[in-house]
Each structure stands twice: as structure tokens, then as C-alpha cells.
Structure 1
């Protein structure tokens, strides 16, 4: 549930373990807030809330680093949005799986909205209001994760890694995980507007881990694209066929092409999608360069965390769709790709953001892009 860290290259004497008193500045992408030491040094601080005054302990930082990382280990002036973390291993030096357990749920969503807005402003030159919407499922931000994997200590106990570390922390009960998270179903059913589809999943196949996410994302994509019968749809990074299945209902199965690079997911998509939908397996950029050299009315993009990137954006624009629905799990990657779409004549005309990862800094965003000149919906 947390990423394994990269090995770091030391750039001078280490300052890890030092303590400083700081005033906490704005939230930043990645689950931390920005603070400055007396000498102006930028420090990314976890376990803090903007506006607080805290004592930090440096966790990473050498003389030559552009910025340091730290944990807030003592709160001198607390935000009114600070709460007691429900999990006993959510805190400085403990499990790195959750970023915001110390923050009230409403403020968590506001912080995520600030991050999305800031990334769009900084990387795409857009100044837009952003609201992160709650999604049904879970229990007050807990017990929502339907799929989870754990490391194990030598004695067999379940464990998670510390933030940006290989070190393990025993986790008796992960509070964001649903009871069945370690043995998820191999089939999922999604119903939207009275229409239901069932999806077979490989053991290592991708599926949204929040129980309410598939439905709300499909509803949003269908609403933004307003697909009409007979229109041609290209579903890129199609996974096991979630969006393609419901779009096929709107435009007709023989009007949908799905592209997926993961072999198991592509095989599942063939099983899950109605006869007539064309499923192509392969790297999206490679497939677009070598095939599908034809116009499409609509495109859905649901890329991995690094985004679609310029090569794919340019290939999409060459198909001249009237609209693109971009489903993003990383605001920075989304903003970079929105900027690339702008270079190709496509403008961001609507955006919705969803809190499908409560207690963490992650957020899911759906963006609607059309030819420049349209108004924001």
C-alpha cells in the first residue's frame, strides 16, 4: 500500500535528527506541508496542518539538498482541524500508509482541493475553483480499501513500511482496509443508471480500491462526454473495460476500441466487454503510432500515476475527438497533460475531484477537454 523508496545520494553532512521550531505553510503535493527554517531552508513537513506552529525533526536532509524532509513531533499551536488519529501506528516514524489521519475529514478534502488547484495553476496556467467530493463507502474515512497487500515481519506478523523507508512497522489492523481486503473477489459488479456490468479480474489486476469509486467515475465520464449513438469511442489505458463497457451501451459495441498494456487486464477486458468491442493489447503510445489512424469522436484516458505524457496527448489530438475525458490519480501529471492538450488546441472545460482515498493525500480527478473556446461547464 506504500511505495518502496529510492536509495538517496548524500550531498554533504546529514542533518537528520535535528529539531527546529517552524510555522507551517501551505499544503503541497505529496502529503506534506511547506515550512521554512530561520535561514530560509525549505522543509517538507508531514503530520502538520497549515497555520500550525510545530517542532519538527528532520528525517532527510544534507547540506547540499535543495530541501529537507521532516516530521512534526510536537504541536505548539494546533489547528482547529487537528484530530486524534484513529490508528495507533499513524504518526511520526510509524506506518507510512496514511498522510492525513491527524486532519478532520472535511479539511482533508479542502487540502486535496488546494493541491489540485495549485498544480493546475503552476503547471497548466489555469486558475480554477476545485472542490473534492465525498464518495459513499467506508466508515467515516475508514474501512474503505477493498484490496490491500502487506509485508510480513520475521515472526509472521503483518507489517507496513515507514514513510520513504524499507523499515517495517507491525500493523495488527489496518483501519482503512475493509475486512475482506486481503482476499478480494475475482469479480466486481457495477451499476450505473439502472444498467449493470460484471467484471472479471486477475489476481494482480487493477481495480479501484474504494467501493464507491467505479460507479462515481463512470457516472462522471458518461455525463461529461454525453456520448451519442453511433459515435466512435477510444478508451485508452482501458484496464478490464470499466468505461468501455458502459460507453458501448451508449454508442454501440462496434463503435468502441479499448487499448490496454497489461496482458492480464487486456485478457479480462476481452471477457468483460460485449462482442463487437475491439480490444488491443500493448503500450498505448506504441499502439497509437502503429494503428487506429482514424478519427474518433470521444476519447477516455485513465493513465497510470505518471500520466499519459506528451507523445500520447499528441496522438490523441491527431484523432480529432470532439471531447476527451481524462481520469487522473495524480494532480501534477494531470496538469502537465492538460498543458500539453492546450498546445494541441484542447481546453479544460470541466473538472470534478473525488475523495476515493480518505486519510491519504491521494485524490481522483476527472477532467473534460474540448476544442478551445468552450465555456467551463
Structure 2
């Protein structure tokens, strides 16, 4: 059995844990809250490690923000993906605001009045039922489950509280699957029929068998306002039912009046932002989109085929910006740049490429506050300042958040 230690819990840290100290050593503790006194099980405590990790397994003095876990199986020793399920929903947003603020101060030297806003409907649903996509794996007995936090062990499950009702209705946890198989369920928020993939192959849930037909359905229609996007079922799309609409609204507000402008849309995916930006720039403007994932580019071409003012480029974003990855690229001017990079951020090469274009405005959609802060520091050194920055809690019960920053020069 791992060692149990009593800890006084200190401040929140990025990553879903809080900081404590034990005999002078820093310990990152999950499943707790600042100000609590807990009994914690050390989960990673190598003698020569710079810091240790622990799970709070018994609360001796509780925070007023603690609530009964909305997902007990994501608690100590359980599955990953619900590390804030013991925190009241308003306090989750305060938690994420504190993390965002700390990362901006520490990494970008920015002192901003930031806030993290909840998504429509989440308060009424208690922060549950928002995921339109889930990934599961079958254990040795064929039961669907998820892996433990920082572990390869599969925990069989009976339900997934974050999944949308349409996914819950598929009865994925009441079935038996081939051991070790990867199960994906996709249920678009707009009402399109769900799809289940078994190791990437369409699975007919009504007949309980893989659908081997070459014309089996492998894509879904996603609705955002009055726009319809067709996206590969296994492709990338925002998982919160309200996230696409929330982020499109934030991006359009951030770019402002771009009628007739040249807009560069980086990491453009299936065209979530490209389509409304094309409407915003009008017939006299242009949107140039760049995406490195071939499947997403294929979806974008299908979604934007009737947009004469959109130019699509496939390839690594940094290389396309410099003309090294797309010989036909003519990205030589942009009035506004929109970018939505992966969790690792844009990085210096991409930010430097944007700086070379000298856009009047940059709208940065971020899914990691540390990566955002590092990139904002680079933009700041290049002469840009943050006009606004708002966080969006599009991942309730987890430590993740989205943020939209608007930069001007």
C-alpha cells in the first residue's frame, strides 16, 4: 500500500491539483481544495524526485466549496477526466480563473482582469451531460471503461456522467466488446444520429456488429447556428455541445468589422471559423485558411466548396506561413489573423510568421493557459498588446478551459 500522509493544502496549480508541502518537499495533490486538511496517498514519491504526487483519500477539514462528487469513479485511484467533480460549479470557474491569471502573470508578465464564463445550459445541468464525443476502451472481460489517471489500467464503468443523453442512450456500458478495442461514440448536438466506431470502423449498435459496407456512414453533420458542417466522425470537433457556437461568437466579436478585409485562419480544422469569417469579409474580402491534418482539410473543402472568397492551404502551419510547405501559398498579407492551435500552443516559429505579416489584429483561441501565456509573451515582444481576454469553461468537472484573446498593435 502507498504511504498515507497528512497534508495542509495550499494554492491551486495548473493541471487539476493543489500544492502542499511534506517535510519540505512540494507535493501536487489531486481531489482536494485550497485550505483543506486531508489524508493523502502518495502516488509518485521517488526519493530523488523534484516533487511528489498524491491523491487526497480522506478529508479531515473540508472547504466550503467541496460538494459530493458528481462522478465518484473519477475520484482517487479512479479514471482520469473528472478531477474537479468534487468542486461546486461556481468554484470550478473560480479555480480556472485563478489558473489562467497565474499563468498570464508568471509566463507573460500580464496583469489582466480575467474571468472564466460558464457555457449556456451548464448550470441547469449541473455541469454534466455536455460531451458529444467520448472515447472508451474495453477491458479484458469486454466491459467498456476508461484508463486510470496516469495509468494504462482500464476501469470498467456503468455510466459516464459527462456524456450527452444521446450517448448514454446507446447503452455502451451494458454491452460486451472485444477485449482491448477502442470505442468512440459521437452524437452531434444538432440532433444528427449518433455514430459508434470500433477501432475506427463503423459499428451498428442496433445489430451489435461492425458495419463492413464500403458506404457505411463515417461522418456527422454538426450545426452551428444556421450553418451545417460535415465532419469525419473520428475527426476533431469541439466536444462540448455549446462550444462551437460560443467560440464562433467570441471570434466574430474579436475580429470586429472585417468587411472587405484579408483574414488568415490558422489551424482551421473543418472550417468552424472559416465559414463565418467568409460571410463577415463579404465578396470583396478573402479568408485564407491553413490546416495540417489531411482529414480536416478534406472536411473543410467539402464544407467550403461554394465559398469563392476562401482559399485553403494544407500543410504545417509554420511551413505554410514561410512558403516552405505549400509552393502555391501566397500568404503575404493579412489584416486580421485568427488562430486556434493545439494544446501545445502556436510556438515561436508560427508567432514570428504572424508578426512578419503585421496584422492589425490577432484573435487567439487557446485550450491551454500556459501555452497561451508563452505565446502572448512572444507577441508582446513583437509589439502587440492584449485588448481583451476571456476564459470559457467548456470542460466542466475537469481542469481544462478555453480562452479567447484579442491582440492589437
| Mapped partners of 1:100, 1:150: distance in 2 | 20
What is the aligned partner in structure 2 of residue 112 from structure 1?
A: 96
Deviation at 1:41, TM superposition (A): 0.2
The worse-fitting range, judged by mean Cα deviation, of 145-154 and 87-96 is: 87-96
| Larger displacement relative to structure 2 (175-184 or 87-96) | 175-184
User: Contact 2:278 / 2:307 at 8 angstroms: preserved in 1?
Assistant: no
Mind listing any 5+ residue stretches in structure 1 that lack a counterpart? 1-15, 372-377
In 2: Cα distance, 1:288 partner to 1:87 partner: 44
The answer for the alignment partner of 1:197 in structure 2 is 227
**Count of residues paired in the alignment:** 351
- Which residue number corresponds to residue 152 of structure 2? 166
> Does 2:226 match 1:188?
no
Counterpart for residue 35 of structure 1: 20
| Alignment gaps of 5+ in structure 2 | 168-184, 189-219, 324-328
Deviations 1:197-220 (A, max 9, x none): 110101221111111111111111
- Select the residue among 287, 293, 296 that pairs with 1:265: 296
SS at match of 2:105: helix
| RMSD, aligned CA | 1.2
Q: State the alpha-carbon separation in 1 of the partners of residues 72 and 33 from structure 2.
A: 19
Deviation at 1:293, TM superposition (A): 4.1
Please, which of 237, 251, 273 is the counterpart of residue 267 of structure 2? 237
Distance 2:401 2:72 in 1: 24
2:339–2:365: 8 Å Cα contact kept in structure 1?
A: yes
Q: Secondary structure at the match of 2:133?
A: coil
SS, match of residue 303 in structure 1? coil
Give deviations 1:167-202, integer Å, cap 9, x for gaps: 1111110000113341434011111xxxx2110101
TM value normalised by structure 2: 0.84
Question: 2: distance between equivalents of 1:166 and 1:236?
Answer: 34
Please tell me whether the aligned partners of residues 137 and 211 of structure 1 are also in contact (alpha carbons under 8 angstroms): no
**Partner residue of 2:377?**
339
CA distance in 1, matches of 2:49, 2:330: 46
TM-score by length of 1: 0.91
Q: d(CA) in 2 for partners of 1:60 and 1:219?
A: 42
| 1:1-377 map, 5 Å | 17-37=2-22, 39-138=23-122, 139-181=125-167, 182-185=185-188, 186-191=220-225, 196-252=226-282, 255-273=286-304, 274-276=306-308, 277-290=310-323, 291-371=329-409
Q: Which digits, 9 at most, give the CA deviation of each residue in 1:288-328, with x for residues without a partner?
A: 11133412000001000000000000001111110000000
CA contact (8 A) 2:186 2:233 kept: no
**Structure 1 segments (4+ residues) deviating >3 Å:** none
Find the aligned partners of 2:73 and 2:262 in 1 and give their Cα distance.
Answer: 49
